[in-house]
Structure 1
Amino acid sequence: MKQYFSFKGQFFVLAFVFGMFTTAFSQEEFGSEFKVKATPVKKKKEAPIKDVKFNTKDFEKIKAYEITGLEKNTFVVPQKEEKDAEKLAKRDQDFGVVKTASGTAKVRYRDAAYVDGDKVRVFLNYVIVQPEVLLDGEVQGFDVELVKGVNRIDIEALNEGYAAPNTAEFKIYNDKGEVISSNQWNIAQGYKATIIVEKE
């Protein structure tokens, strides 16, 4: 029995008792359910919204921003192109300006489509040079002594033949026989096709 009460025995008994105590305590703490106590989040108190009052006199001091130094916008939105051939024919046609250093010009025209009895009158600088021309498939025309500056040629439709409108093609040659202008007119009775020959 003395061996149980020796120093070694006492140490063994103490260690055994301590081991039993810690095992029991750990089983108590870590049971089948592990519970965590959540700490509630404290919400911050928001400051109340205050009504802001404006003094209208403060806005009277503010001047509107103005852009200066720009030219006035004169842009015109293009209109839809006219597609009706009858409406297109019922207006004068301008074939623009052609420049030349030639002393003379030859104006030639013919009915380029169906020969249907189209008739025209020709003006040079508002003076009638061809009172009545019956257009056919053969080329015909006249010569012009060009003056310095503008030489205006107007071709007026006297009728529309059997198939409207009055149609033909024309060419203008310089004194070297070179074509300086070429186009077609499609004009209703009473309207004119105009070409300007400018002698430099």
Structure 2
Amino acid sequence: MKQFLLFVMMCFAFSSYAQNEFGGAKFTPIAPLNTNKVAPKKVTPSSTDAPVIKAPDLFKKPDVSLPSSSKYQIGETKSFSMEQTNDFINPGDRIRDKMTKDLDKTLVREGLREDDRLLVKIDKNFGEIRTKSKYFVVKYRDFIYVDGDLIKATLNNQMIGGIMELYSSYGQFIFDLKDGINTFELEAYSKGTSGGNTCEFKIYDDKGVLVRSEFWDNWDKGVKGKFVIVKE
């Protein structure tokens, strides 16, 4: 019985202690979040239309914008040019070309070289020769510069002696004359390597007498000199 009463008293005491510790305490409840005050974010949907692509005008010259020169640039700025140049030309070639031109002009001026710009392209009539000689001897040579000049001689449209080359010393050929009129022609058959054809020739009768001395200078290929020889 005593034990039971002791148990009841302990329970009563514990109950009173618990009320004093927790009964007087006040608890503030936490208010719930107010979701009505936050406005929802409006999302604008992206356009589904395809972007407009503008084709370039192929006939319009594009505006070329060159970059500005850098402050670290070294040397002189060269302007842009479409002209093809050779920056690696040898200065000695220019001097050589100038000396060659000057030499050519000097040779032409001194009569030691022909000038292609002044080629004679018109046939020449050397006139008439009257003689009683049975034949003529013609001596010929290149009187300026031996460069491979060739000549051709014809009498009454018949070739005499073939094609003959001119040298510094005289070559010669002989042809007989018929009574009456004989047409004798000398033709510049070629040009030499240094210009037109140059020929000096002398005509002798059957007694060795000089009948005519003539020459031509800077003749073009195919130009002819004509004599009318009358055998009396």
Q: TM-score band (shorter)?
A: 0.5 to 0.7
Cα displacement string for residues 79-136 of structure 1 (whole angstroms, at most 9, x for unaligned residues): xxxxx99566111111111111111111111111111110111111111113311110
Contact 1:94 1:193 in 2 (8 A): yes
Per the alignment, residue 118 of structure 1 pairs with 149
Select 2:224's aligned residue among 163, 179, 192. Answer: 192
What's the CA shift for 1:180?
0.7
Show structure 1 runs of 5+ residues with no match: 1-83
| Counterpart code for 1:148 | D
Identity of aligned residues (%): 37
Change (3 A) 1:87 1:196: farther
Query: 5 Å matches for 1:99-110?
Result: 99-110=130-141
User: Contact 2:119 / 2:196 at 8 angstroms: preserved in 1?
Assistant: no
Q: What is the aligned partner in structure 2 of residue 137 from structure 1?
A: 168
Please tell me the residue identity of whatever aligns with 1:160.
K
Question: How far off is 1:163 after superposition?
Answer: 2.3
Alpha-carbon distance in 1 for matches of 2:126, 2:119: 14
Distance 1:126 1:85 in 2: 29
Cα shift at 1:158: 1.9
Distance 1:151 1:86, change over 3 A: farther
Corresponding residue for 1:149? Answer: 180
- Could you state the TM-score of these two structures normalised by the residue count of structure 2? 0.47
- Please report the RMSD computed on the Cα atoms of aligned residues, expressed in angstroms: 1.9
Which residue pairs with 1:128 in the alignment? Answer: 159
Q: d(CA) in 1 for partners of 2:228 and 2:209?
A: 17
Q: CA deviation at 1:196?
A: 2.1
Does structure 2 retain, via aligned residues, the 8 Å contact 1:93–1:185? no
CA contact (8 A) 1:124 1:153 kept: yes
Q: Which residue of the partner structure matches residue 200 of structure 2?
A: 169
Paired residue for 1:63? none
Inter-partner Cα distance in structure 1 for 2:199 and 2:213 = 11
1:139–1:184: structure 2 CA closer, same or farther, 3 Å change rule? Answer: same
Q: Residue 155 of structure 1: CA displacement?
A: 1.4
The higher radius of gyration belongs to 2
> TM-score, length-normalised on structure 1?
0.54
Q: Give the Cα separation in 2 of the matches to 1:98 and 1:161.
A: 30
Return the letter of the residue paired with 2:133.
S
More strand by share: 1
Q: Structure with the greater relative contact order (CA < 8 A, sep ≥ 6): 1 or 2?
A: 1
Please give the alpha-carbon distance, in whole angstroms, between the structure 2 residues aligned to 1:153 and 1:141. Answer: 15
Q: Which runs of 4+ in 1 moved over 6 A?
A: none
- Structure 2, unmatched stretches of 5+, are 1-114
Q: How many residues align?
A: 117
Equivalent residues in 2 for 1:25-64 (5 A)? none
Q: Using the TM superposition, name which of 122-131 and 168-177 deviates more.
A: 122-131
3-state SS of the aligned residue for 2:148? coil
